[in-house]
């Protein structure tokens, strides 16, 4: 069996990087990842969600490579909204597994802070159905709020139980040098923050941040954590036609395939990064990955038994849109080997990268 390994990586602290152009920001982190890996790459995969909407830039890969003076290799862009990162890693994995390339890089980048905060809502709303959702003013937040309300009711929780997610993420983010929010918050801070879409409040919404992350992947070079399996699934059911609102269909499908291909079960997972663009999605992702039973994630959180998002998740590290999934891959790989993060207590880690409101999910299993 072909093995794909993460042989080098680099992260940019997430934040507001007003002083840099998007291509340079990606090039800087890619250059560091290449130096970390010490290999040449034969292809580049760019994960970016908003380069047209925010930066009016296409063919971003060519401009990133221009900055680094890397000539003549192919560059591809993968766009799956804020799930672009996981999808790009998956595409890179397949390109290596096909035998076409020996080493490739994935770089994720987005700069949502190049527009004003109201315009950020417009930009992020592009992950919704543009004709039948975005047109009417709906956003990922409004639909997450509907799902949160139904989840909390169905499983007998109060909003306070959900508010604990943000508290935990901020606690973790305080320990992550690459996180946007590096401060702890109290439950009262969450409970007294303004409504964004009730029952969800300000602390339930992950901040959109400028970010860039890169990983160098090589075939059959046992020099780093191994990508055991990848799986992407889209959900073709429109929001109003879903039969259930307290689950993530795209994740359930991708997780089942990725676990099967890796030959592991949720019990083997020692490190996990999930897509909590909205708090409720983090909760549903924990359940979708089988790390808690259906309806049990908030109870597990209360018991203190949730070992996910040691990075602080999208809530504290930040939602760097297309770059997010690449951050997550690097964070899980580094947690497995104890680099920058406390070493995970086990051999396997898993990444959940999601685009929009359960429209597409990538699951990546990483192992030692």
Partner 1 sequence: MRHESVPMYWRNIPQYYRLVAKRCRQCGAVYFPPALRCRCGSAELEDYDELPHEGRLVEYTVLYQVGTDFLKQKPLIVGLVELNGGVRAVGQIVDAQPDRLAPGTRVELVFRRVAVDGRHGLIMYGYKFRPVQP
Chain contacts with partner 1 (rule: CB under 8 A): 115, 118-119, 121-123, 125, 129, 131-139, 141-143, 145-146, 149-150, 194-200, 205, 238-241, 245
Q: Residue 94 or residue 132: which is nearer to partner 1 going by CB?
A: 132
Q: What angle do CA 90, 80, 92 make, to 5 degrees?
A: 20
Cα gap 117→94, rounded to integer Å: 37
**How near is the Cβ of 88 to partner 1 at its closest, in Å?**
25
CB burial of residue 240 (10 Å; 0-12, 13-18, 19+): exposed
CA 282 to chain centre: 11
Q: Residue 119 or residue 192: which is nearer to partner 1 going by CB?
A: 119
Cα gap 85→355, rounded to integer Å: 9
Q: How many CB atoms lie within 10 A of CB 312?
A: 28
**How near is the Cβ of 204 to partner 1 at its closest, in Å?**
11
Locate tokens 């909590």: which residue?
276
Q: Residue 108 or residue 356: which is nearer to partner 1 going by CB?
A: 356
Of the candidates 277, 273, 326, the residue with the CA atom closest to the CA atom of residue 46: 326
> What does DSSP say about strands 360-367 and 348-355: parallel, antiparallel, or unpaired?
antiparallel
**How near is the Cβ of 244 to partner 1 at its closest, in Å?**
12
Of the candidates 332, 322, 317, the residue with the CA atom closest to the CA atom of residue 354: 322
Q: Residue 238 or residue 263: which is nearer to partner 1 going by CB?
A: 238
**How near is the Cβ of 128 to partner 1 at its closest, in Å?**
10
Of the candidates 136, 148, 284, the residue with the CA atom closest to the CA atom of residue 203: 148
**How near is the Cβ of 57 to partner 1 at its closest, in Å?**
16
Q: Residue 76 or residue 245: which is nearer to partner 1 going by CB?
A: 245
Q: Residue 101 or residue 165: which is nearer to partner 1 going by CB?
A: 165
Q: Residue 28 or residue 246: which is nearer to partner 1 going by CB?
A: 246
CB < 8 Å & 24+ apart, contacts of 66-74: 66/23, 67/23, 67/24, 67/27, 68/27, 68/30, 68/31, 68/34, 70/41, 70/44, 73/41, 73/42, 73/43, 73/44, 74/42, 74/43, 74/44
Using an 8 Å Cβ cutoff, are 6 and 217 in contact? yes
**How near is the Cβ of 277 to partner 1 at its closest, in Å?**
13
Q: Residue 141 or residue 168: which is nearer to partner 1 going by CB?
A: 141
């Amino acid at each position: 069996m072909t093995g794909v390994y993460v042989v080098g990586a680099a992260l940019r602290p997430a934040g507001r990087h007003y002083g840099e152009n998007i291509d340079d920001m990606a090039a800087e982190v890619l250059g560091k990842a290449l130096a970390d890996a010490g290999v040449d790459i034969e292809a580049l995969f760019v994960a970016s969600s908003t380069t047209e909407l925010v930066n009016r830039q296409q063919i971003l890969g060519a401009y990133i490579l221009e900055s680094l003076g890397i000539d003549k290799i192919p560059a591809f862009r993968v766009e799956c909204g804020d799930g672009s990162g996981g999808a790009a890693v998956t595409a890179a994995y397949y390109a290596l597994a096909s035998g076409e390339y020996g080493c490739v890089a994935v770089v994720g980048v987005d700069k949502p802070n190049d527009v004003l905060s109201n315009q950020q809502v417009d930009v992020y709303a592009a992950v919704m159905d543009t004709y039948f959702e975005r047109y009417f003013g709906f956003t990922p937040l409004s639909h997450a709020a509907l799902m949160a309300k139904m989840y909390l009711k169905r499983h007998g929780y109060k909003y306070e139980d959900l508010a604990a997610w943000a508290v935990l993420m901020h606690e973790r983010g305080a320990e992550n040098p690459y996180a946007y929010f590096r401060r702890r918050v109290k439950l009262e801070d969450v409970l007294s923050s303004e409504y964004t879409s009730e029952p969800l409040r300000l602390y339930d919404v992950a901040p959109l941040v400028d970010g860039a992350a890169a990983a160098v992947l090589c075939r059959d070079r046992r020099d780093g954590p191994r990508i055991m399996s990848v799986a992407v699934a889209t959900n073709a059911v429109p929001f109003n036609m879903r039969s259930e609102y307290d689950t993530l269909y795209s994740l359930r499908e991708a997780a089942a395939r990725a676990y099967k291909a890796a030959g592991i079960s949720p019990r083997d997972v020692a490190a996990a990064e999930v897509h909590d663009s909205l708090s409720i999605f983090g909760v549903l992702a924990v359940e979708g990955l089988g790390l808690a039973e259906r309806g049990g994630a908030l109870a597990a959180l209360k018991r203190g038994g949730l070992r996910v998002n040691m990075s602080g998740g999208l809530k504290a590290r930040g939602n760097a849109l297309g770059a997010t999934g690449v951050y997550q891959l690097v964070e899980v790989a580094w947690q497995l080997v104890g680099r920058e993060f406390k070493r995970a207590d086990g051999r396997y880690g898993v990444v959940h990268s999601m685009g929009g409101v359960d429209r597409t999910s990538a699951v990546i299993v990483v192992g030692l």
